[in-house]
């Protein structure tokens, strides 16, 4: 365990355990009659003031793009080729309310797989520290997500149009944008830039520092599973952490979920089973064939994963509107593992409503949706079929899921069927070093113990400047979210440490700058 994580653990382990859940009757209720208010109660909304801007990025000159956009500032879509006569608009946000030219800094959010305004609104940490850091905030949208579509409506039409959706191209976009901002904003030229990001964006922040250390003085990589590739970590670590979250949040919770899969299977095999399941779970689209049952179970599994990821200590609406400590709330419906199959399915329905109907507005449950539409599902599907191959598996014994082995051939065939491409599972470790990253400096890797992705993250200090912070009772990039009165002390200390290190990077930058002058 790293020095920072050990410090937090020793300080907080005695008093950070959430309270026990209250029992709830397993009786079946309609989605509109759940045992909580039908109006979602989030903390008061704070208006974030930023300007939305676009930079004209250049694209490959192949005939894939049907029309040339007006030229503004020209950056390449294919930064590593030389056919550069076509452009697309890349969106970015800027907030300079607290920015100071004298001793200031630039906090640069490395956009990930979704709409950048959505990520901006869910990264309150940057806004909270902007004044203290005298910082300009920049949120850069990732190519192929949000409004930054290189080929417009044709961007996802086939693998030829998607060929430029890679981490390398995205990092080059960020590098070009920083150079452009420093060249065009008076006072920004000689200011330090720090990269910040969460989840995939956290991976990009770390990789950005590794590949462009002359542009960013450091990086905060929150919930960044940079080792969830090849055999760098066991493929079952992700599902084990999800299971631990549930087992610690209520008696018999994980065991009930483990038994629920067979209950669904048995009911599905009965004569009217598919119809009964559809009605009991209030599905928008009824189950009609046996293949639908596996799709249903996959959807339920993904739901439990998402609940674990966003197990925040307060009401939130990151993936869906949710109550505080949603895993605990879900586990209220799984107190009893030895129940009839029909009761088990009724309990599943109640638990699913915690995630899909906390607002009280849903009339039925849609198995085609698990998260906000602000996430770019198509783009990420392609990335997962090319570079971002992150193996997961389960055995149904040490975790609460059905057994599922990692089959690279099957995975590759599915990718080829969908996109006409074959994944390169070794490319990310080859490109970014895997676990051999000790030559790099000034990266903070923060991970919440509740976050399933922490299994693929850096959880121990590598060097004195590659630092790991483990957050007890912390879920997915909780430290990047806005400060909340219900935050565990662990995340408050984490943010203080992160600010301390970032201030040191900024101070070191200005010391070097003065020496040069």
62 is catalytic: no
Tell me which residue of 190, 176, 151 sits closest to 92, measured CA to CA. 176
39 is catalytic: no
Q: Strand 86-95 and strand 135-140: pairing?
A: antiparallel
Q: Is 183 helix (H, G, I), strand (E, B) or coil?
A: helix
Identify the active-site residue in 282, 440, 476, 477: 476
| H/E stretch holding 322 | none
The Cα 362–Cα 284 span in angstroms is 10
Residues with Cβ within 8 Å of residue 345, at least 6 apart in sequence = 260, 263, 264, 267, 277, 280, 281
- CA-CA-CA-CA torsion for 478, 460, 439, 208, nearest 10 degrees? -10
482 to 291, 420, 464, 477, 479: CA distances (angstroms): 42, 41, 28, 11, 8
Identify the active-site residue in 199, 247, 254, 260: 199
Q: Each residue of 418-432: b (16+ CB within 10 Å) or e?
A: ebebebebebbbebb
Place of tokens 């849903």: 362
Long-range contacts of 60-66 (CB under 8 A, 24+ apart): 60/84, 60/86, 60/164, 61/85, 61/86, 62/160, 64/151, 64/154, 64/160, 64/161, 65/150, 65/151, 65/154, 66/154
CB 90 within 8 A of CB 178: no
161 is catalytic: no
Identify the active-site residue in 60, 78, 96, 451: 451
The Cα 107–Cα 141 span in angstroms is 14
Residues with Cβ within 8 Å of residue 293, at least 6 apart in sequence = 264, 265, 268, 274, 277, 287
Place of tokens 């570079």: 387
Q: Edge to edge, what strands does the sheet with 218-222 contain? A: 75-76, 51-59, 86-95, 135-140, 105-110, 193-198, 218-222, 443-448, 466-471
Burial of 148 (0-12, 13-18, 19+ CB in 10 A): buried
The residues annotated with a catalytic role in the active site are 199, 451, 476
């Amino acid at each position: 365990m790293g020095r920072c994580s050990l410090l937090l653990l020793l300080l907080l382990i005695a008093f950070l355990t959430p309270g026990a859940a209250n029992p709830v009757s397993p009786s079946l209720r309609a989605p509109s009659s759940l045992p909580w208010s039908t109006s979602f109660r989030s903390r008061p909304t704070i208006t974030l003031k930023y300007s939305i801007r676009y930079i004209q990025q250049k694209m490959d000159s192949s005939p894939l793009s049907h029309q040339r956009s007006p030229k503004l500032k020209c950056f390449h879509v294919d930064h590593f080729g030389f056919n550069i006569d076509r452009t697309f608009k890349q969106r970015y946000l800027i907030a300079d309310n607290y920015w100071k030219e004298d001793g200031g800094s630039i906090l640069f959010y490395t956009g990930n797989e979704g709409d950048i305004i959505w990520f901006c609104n869910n990264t309150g940490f940057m806004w909270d520290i902007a004044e203290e850091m005298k910082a300009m905030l920049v949120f850069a949208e990732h190519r192929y997500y949000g409004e930054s579509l290189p080929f417009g409506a044709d961007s996802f039409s086939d693998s030829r149009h998607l060929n430029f959706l890679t981490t390398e191209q995205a990092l080059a976009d960020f590098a070009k944008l920083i150079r452009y901002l420093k060249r065009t904003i008076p006072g920004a030229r000689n200011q330090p830039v720090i990269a910040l990001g969460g989840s995939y964006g956290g991976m990009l922040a770390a990789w950005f520092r590794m590949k462009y250390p002359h542009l960013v003085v450091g990086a905060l990589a929150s919930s960044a599973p940079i080792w969830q590739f090849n055999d760098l970590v066991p493929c079952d670590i992700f599902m084990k952490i999800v299971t631990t979250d549930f087992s610690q949040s209520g008696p018999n919770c994980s065991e009930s979920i483990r038994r629920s899969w067979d209950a669904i299977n048995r009911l599905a095999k009965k004569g009217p089973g598919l119809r009964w399941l559809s009605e009991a779970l209030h599905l928008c689209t009824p189950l009609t064939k046996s293949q639908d049952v596996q799709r249903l179970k996959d959807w339920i599994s993904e739901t439990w994963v998402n609940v674990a990821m966003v197990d925040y200590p307060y009401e939130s609406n990151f993936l869906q509107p949710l109550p505080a400590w949603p895993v605990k709330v879900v586990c209220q419906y799984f107190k009893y593992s030895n129940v009839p199959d029909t009761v088990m399915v009724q309990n599943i329905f109640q638990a699913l409503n915690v995630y899909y109907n906390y607002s009280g507005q849903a009339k039925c449950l849609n198995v085609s949706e698990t998260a906000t539409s602000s996430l770019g599902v198509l783009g990420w599907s392609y990335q997962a079929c090319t570079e971002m191959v992150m193996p997961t598996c389960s055995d149904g014994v040490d975790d609460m899921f059905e057994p599922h082995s990692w089959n690279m051939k099957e995975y590759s065939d599915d990718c080829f069927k969908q996109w006409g491409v074959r994944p390169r599972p070794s490319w990310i470790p080859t490109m970014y070093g895997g676990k051999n990253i000790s030559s790099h400096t000034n990266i903070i890797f923060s991970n919440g113990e509740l976050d399933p992705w922490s299994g693929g993250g850096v959880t121990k200090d590598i060097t004195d400047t590659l630092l790991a912070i483990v957050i007890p009772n912390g879920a997915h990039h909780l430290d990047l979210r806005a400060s909340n009165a219900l935050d565990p002390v662990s995340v408050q200390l984490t943010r203080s440490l992160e600010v301390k290190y970032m201030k040191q990077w900024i101070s070191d930058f200005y010391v070097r700058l003065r020496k040069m002058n």
